[in-house]
Amino acid sequence: MLDLGLDFLDIDWEYPVEGGNDSHPVPHHPDDIKNYVLLLSAIRDEFKTLPWKAELSVASPAGPDKYRHWDFTAICGQLDFINIMTYDLAGSWSKYTDHQANLYEDPNHPPGAKYSTHNAVQDYIKGGCPSDKIVLGIPAYGRSFEGSNGLYSNFTKPTKGSWVSGNDGKGVWDYKVLPLPGATEIYDEKLGATYSYDPTSKIFTSYEGPKSLAQKLDYIKQYNLGGTMFWSGDADAKSGSPRSLIAQVYNTFGRDNMAFEDNNLNYPTSQYANIRAGAVTSAVPITSSPDAPVTTVAPVTSAVPVTSSPDAPVTTVAPVTSAVPVTSSPDSPVTTVAPVTSAVPTTSSPDSPVTTVAPVTSAVPVTSSPVTSAVHVTCSSYPPVTSSTAPWTSSAVPETTPVEPVTTGATPAPTGGPITNPLETSAPTTTAATGDQCKGNKNACFWPFTGQTVDHSQANCKLITSFIWCP
């Protein structure tokens, strides 16, 4: 961090105990979670030596098969934010077409894995993670399924996408090109999900849309969550577009609920001359291209330009005074933070379509690639609700889930108040499982999805909605 001029760390380990290379010499290990906590603690201790407040966050799983081993209290205790990757809940690896970022679980879902944003969030809260540290992951891309007949149907292997390369990117589309030409966008209010389908091309695509995002923003306020993060900002609709998801977050919560923080611009111990000299910002307004009509002004104090050695041919200026968040011109409703400069140029090969690193939290449109914003959306002004620690139990709904076709256009404003799960009509239950559900297992924590028991006490077993306690 001191060498490269970094402000914070976000760790993306996919996943402790349940992930990693299965072959020698780096398999996952039962002690991964314990060691994960030790790693985070060691980083936090090192942060105490820094002359600025550095944030620590992690990218975390949304599936109980991945987080069932997590010690939420210990892990969240070391973090400023925990970014739940509440996307990729379905994809080309699935058995049938499905939602990749639905808010609620479908009670009429076909047999197999059933994931939802709500279930993951409630498991984290019940496990001991403070709600205001939980950040919802929002996909700025879609997962497509070819040769399908719509939702919950068979499909063929994807062949197209925004980032198709030699070995990756098929079936992934930037949000800014969705819905695909000829497809109808559909919003399912009961599940909090958006998808599109073209009966001619037979392409089904699951993604986040303005209406489903509005529902999630209401959900964030209801449960006093920490905000949103996007993967990845460059795939969002252009600045000024009524379909921009990042702008929708900013416009919904407002500037007062953005967690603006000045970037640290002073790294005098860096081994790189340009980093030691300080970040370069302009003393005059910089106007972006017509496609991104945002003008920002960054007041600076600058000394005489300093030219680095031939081995590091970068011309920089002396350390500058960091600018406060800058508001763009009245014609553009976008607010940006002070410019961020990279320690080394970032180039992506054709085989590596993604130019961003670990998921970043963004609350304002990014107007100049490849810079990404690191602004969290905070909801501190929204009081916690009493139901934030309770799971929900859905009741039966009609076999055909009503959906609403929508057309591309301006995003309707969210209601602004607490919402309730439209599928929730009864109180949560804590009764023990029946013998049939337990498949003969006794005095054990049972996971019906895998048909296996897990090493959890009765109390810990009840913290995970996907598990049942067998007496």
Please give the C-alpha separations between residue 277 and each of 62, 75, 270, 298, 320, in angstroms, as whole numbers: 42, 36, 9, 18, 9
CA separation for the pair 67, 59 (Å, rounded) = 12
| Relative orientation angle of helices 210-222 and 245-253, to the nearest 10 degrees | 40
User: Is the confidence at residue 270, as pLDDT, over 80?
Assistant: yes
The pLDDT of residue 354 is above 80: no
Return left, alpha or beta for 66; rule: phi > 0 is left, psi -120 to 50 is alpha, else beta. Answer: alpha
Dihedral (C-alpha) 33, 35, 39, 45: value to the nearest 10 degrees? 110
pLDDT-based confidence at residue 450 (cuts at 50, 70, 90) = low
Interatomic CA distance for residues 459 and 445, integer angstroms: 10
Collapsing DSSP to helix, strand or coil, 130 comes out as coil
Residue 291 confidence (pLDDT): 44
Neighbour tally for 149: CB within 10 Å: 13
pLDDT score of 79: 98
Binned at pLDDT 50, 70 and 90, residue 175 comes out as very high
Identify the band that residue 449 occupies on the pLDDT scale cut at 50, 70 and 90: low
Nearest to 392, CA basis, from 358, 357, 437, 423: 423
pLDDT score of 337 more than 60: no
Q: Mean pLDDT for the chain? A: 73
Q: Is 31 exposed, middle or buried (0-12, 13-18, 19+ CB in 10 A)?
A: exposed
Expressed in angstroms, the distance from the first to the final Cα of the chain is 51
Contact 122, 393 (CB under 8 A): no
Radius of gyration of the chain (CA): 23
CB 449 within 8 A of CB 414: no
Q: Mean per-residue pLDDT for 195-217?
A: 97
Give the mean pLDDT of 212-237. Answer: 96
Pair type for strands 468-470 and 81-84: unpaired
User: Residues 254-270: what's their mean pLDDT?
Assistant: 86
Pair 245, 142: CB distance under 8 Å: no
Residue 191's pLDDT is what?
97
In the three-class reduction of DSSP (H, G, I as helix; E, B as strand; rest coil), residue 235 is classed as: helix
* Residue from 424, 467, 428, 391 nearest 191 by CA: 424
The pLDDT tens digits for 146-159 are 999 999 999 998 88
| Domains of the chain, start order | 8-259+380-422 (3.20.20), 430-471 (no CATH)
Model pLDDT, residue 328: 36
Assess whether pLDDT exceeds 90 at residue 300. no
Sign for the CA dihedral angle at 166, 172, 176, 178 comes to positive
Distance (Å, whole) CA 118 – CA 431: 21
118 or 336, greater pLDDT: 118
Cross-strand partners of 444:
470
224: phi then psi, degrees, rounded to nearest 5: 55, 50
The pLDDT tens digits of the residues spanning 99-133 come to 999 999 999 999 888 899 999 999 999 999 999 99
Q: Residue 71 and residue 63: Cα distance in Å, rounded? A: 15
Span 377-393, pLDDT tens digits: 444 334 333 333 233 33
- Residue 459: how many CB atoms within 10 A of its CB? 8
Q: How confident is the model at residue 70 (pLDDT cuts 50, 70, 90)?
A: very high
Active site residues: 14
pTM of the predicted structure, to 2 decimals: 0.64
Q: How far apart are CA 208 and CA 195, in angstroms?
A: 8
